[in-house]
Structure 1
Amino acid sequence: MFGGANRRVVSLWFPRLPSDRVLRARPVEGPFALTLQQDNTNRIFCLNAEAEARGLYRSMGFSDARAFCPELQSRSADQIADQEFLTRIRRWATRYCPWVGLEGRDGLVMDITGSAHLAGGEEMLRDDLRDRLSRIGLAVRIGIADTRGAAWALARHGEGVARPGHALDKIGPLSVAALRLDSGTVTSLQRLGLNSIRQLAEAPRAPLARRFGPGLMMRLDQATGAQPEQVSPQSDPPHYGVRMSLPEPIGLTSDVMEGTNRLLIRLCDKLKQQQTGARVLCLTLRRVDQQALHLTLRLARPLREPARILSLFARDVADLDAGYGIDQLRLEATQVEALASEQISHVGSDRRDRIDDLITRIGTRIGLENVQRFLPADSHVPERSFTLAPAAYTSPAGAWVRTRPRPLVMFPPESISASGASPPHKFRWRRMSFTTMRTTGPERIMPEWWRQDEGWSNGIRDYWRIETREGRRLWMFYTPQNPGWFVQGEFA
Structure 2
Amino acid sequence: MTHEQKGAHRILVVNRQARDAGLLPDQSLADARAICPDLLSEPQNAVRDSLLLSALRRWADQFSPKVEIVQPDALILDVSGIAHLYGGEAELTTAIHNSLTDLHVTARYALADTPMAARAWAQYRPPNHPFQSILPVGEAITACDALPVEALETDATEALHLLGLRTVGALRRRPSAELAKRFGLRLTDAIDRLIGRRPEPMRAETPTRPFATRMTLPDPIGLIDDVLSVLERIAAPLMTRLEKDGLGALGFTLAVTCPDKGAHRLQVGFSRPTREIRALVRQMRPKIETLSLAFGADRFRLEATGVQPIQTRQIHLGTEAVIEDSMERLITVVGNRLGFDRIRRPAPSFSHRAEWECVSEQIADNKTAYVWPSPRHHRPLQILKPEHLHILEEGRPPARFEWRRQAYRTREIEGPERVAPQWWAENPGRLSDYYTVTTEEGPKLWLRRLPMIDDHEWSVAGVFA
Q: Find the partner of 1:450 among 424, 439, 444.
A: 424
Name the residue aligned to 1:409: 382
Distance 1:126 1:332, change over 3 A: closer
CA-CA distance at 1:103 after TM superposition: 6.2
AA of the residue aligned to 1:285: V
> What residue in structure 1 maps to residue 67 of structure 2?
102
In 2, Cα distance between equivalents of 1:141 and 1:399: 57
| 1:296 maps to 2:267 | yes
Unaligned runs of 5+ in 1: 1-20, 34-77, 179-218, 220-232
* Equivalent residues of 2:242, 2:248 under 8 A apart: yes
- Offset, 1:297: 0.7
1:337-416 equivalence runs, <5 A? 337-342=307-312, 344=314, 346-347=316-317, 350-394=322-366, 395-416=368-389
Please give the per-residue CA displacement for 1:57-110, whole angstroms capped at 9, x wherever unaligned.
xxxxxxxxxxxxxxxxxxxxx9x999876554444456xx55453268562245
SS at match of 1:484: strand
Give aligned-pair identity as a percent. 25
The amino acid across from 1:263 in the alignment is I
Distance of 2:255 and 2:226 partners within structure 1: 15
Count residues with an aligned counterpart: 363
Counterpart position of 1:228:
none
Question: Does 1:311 pair with 2:245?
Answer: no
**8 Å CA contact 2:434, 2:448 repeated in 1:** yes
| 1:214-229 matched pairs, under 5 angstroms | none
CA distance in structure 2 between the partners assigned to 1:112 and 1:415 by the alignment: 80
Does structure 1 residue 326 correspond to structure 2 residue 297?
yes
Aligned match of 1:255: 226
Name the residue aligned to 1:241: 212
Report if the CA contact (8 A) 1:154-1:171 is conserved: no
1:424 counterpart residue number:
398
- Indicate if the aligned counterparts of 2:249 and 2:307 stay in contact, CA closer than 8 A: yes
**1:339, 1:476 → 2: CA distance?**
48
**CA contact under 8 A between 1:109 and 1:148: conserved in structure 2?**
no
2:137 partner amino acid: I
Distance 1:255 1:136 in 2: 37
- Whole-Å separation in 2 of the counterparts to 1:128 and 1:305: 44
Report the Cα distance in structure 1 between the residues aligned to 2:257 and 2:238, rounded to whole angstroms: 19
- The offset of 1:346, in angstroms, is 5.0
Cα 1:93/1:390, change in 2 over 3 Å: closer
Q: Cα–Cα, structure 1 residues 316 and 152, in superposed 2: closer, same or farther, change >3 Å?
A: closer
- Aligned mates of 1:130, 1:288 — CA distance in 2: 28
Measured after TM superposition, the shift of residue 174 of structure 1 is 6.3
1:23 counterpart residue number: 13
Is it true that 1:336 corresponds to 2:336 in the alignment? no
Could you tell me which amino acid in structure 1 is paired with residue 241 of structure 2?
Answer: K
Change in CA separation of 1:85 and 1:256 when aligned onto 2, cut-off 3 Å: closer
Q: TM-score, normalized by length of structure 1?
A: 0.59
Q: CA deviation at 1:288?
A: 5.2
| Aligned-partner residue type, residue 306 of structure 2 | V
Q: CA deviation at 1:372?
A: 1.3
CA change 1:260–1:434 in 2 (3 A) is: same
SS of 1:238's partner is coil
Between 1:368-377 and 1:282-291, the stretch displaced more is 282-291
Quote the offset at 1:430 in angstroms.
Answer: 1.7
CA distance in 2, matches of 1:355, 1:314: 20
**Mapping 1:142-153, distance limit 5 Å:** 142=111
In structure 1, what residue type is equivalent to 2:370? A
Cα distance between partner residues in 2 of 1:139 and 1:341: 47
Does the aligned pair in 2 maintain the 1:126–1:142 contact within 8 Å? Answer: no
Amino acid at match of 1:245: T
Aligned to 1:13: none
Normalised by the length of structure 2, the TM-score is: 0.62
SS at match of 1:440: strand
Structure 2: which amino acid aligns with 1:402? P
CA contact (8 A) 1:285 1:292 kept: yes
Q: What's the RMSD between the two structures over aligned residues?
A: 4.9
Q: Distance in 2 between the 1:286 and 1:369 partners?
A: 28
The amino acid across from 2:260 in the alignment is D
**Residues 291-316 of structure 1, C-alpha deviations (whole Å, 9 max, x = no match):** 44332112222222222222222333
Deviation at 1:290, TM superposition (A): 3.8
Partner Cα separation in structure 2 for residue 406 and residue 425 of structure 1: 22
Match of 1:488 in 2: 461
CA deviation vs aligned residue, 1:247-302 (integer Å, no higher than 9, x gap): 45444443332222222222222333444322221122234534443321122222
SS at match of 2:350: coil
Matched, 1:278 2:268: no
Could you say what secondary structure the match of 2:267 adopts? strand
CA distance in 1, matches of 2:239, 2:267: 17
Cα distance, 1:121–1:137 mapped onto 2, change above 3 Å: closer
For 2:69 and 2:265, the matched residues in 1 are separated by: 37
Match of 1:60 in 2: none
CA–CA separation in structure 2 for the residues paired with 1:345 and 1:236: 35
Alpha-carbon distance between aligned partners in 1 of 2:216 and 2:51, rounded to the nearest angstrom: 30
Cα distance, 1:351–1:116 mapped onto 2, change above 3 Å = farther
Note closer, same or farther for the CA distance 1:87–1:293 as it changes in structure 2 (3 Å cut). closer
- What displacement does 1:487 show? 0.6
Partner SS state of residue 141, structure 1: coil
Shift in Å at residue 405 of structure 1? Answer: 1.7
Deviations 1:420-464 (A, max 9, x none): 4522232221222233343333322222233454752xx2x2222
Is the 1:375–1:396 Cα contact (8 Å) retained in structure 2? no
- Equivalent of residue 439 in structure 1, options 413, 420, 424: 413
User: d(CA) in 1 for partners of 2:279 and 2:99?
Assistant: 48
The structural deviation recorded for 1:381 is 0.9
- State the alpha-carbon separation in 2 of the partners of residues 326 and 300 from structure 1: 30
* Equivalent pair of 2:315/2:322 in contact (CA under 8 Å): no
**Residues of 2 paired with 1:172 and 1:422: CA distance?**
86
Other structure's SS at 2:242 match? helix
Work out the CA distance in 1 between the residues paired with 2:387 and 2:258: 60
Structure 1 counterpart of 2:405, which letter? Answer: R
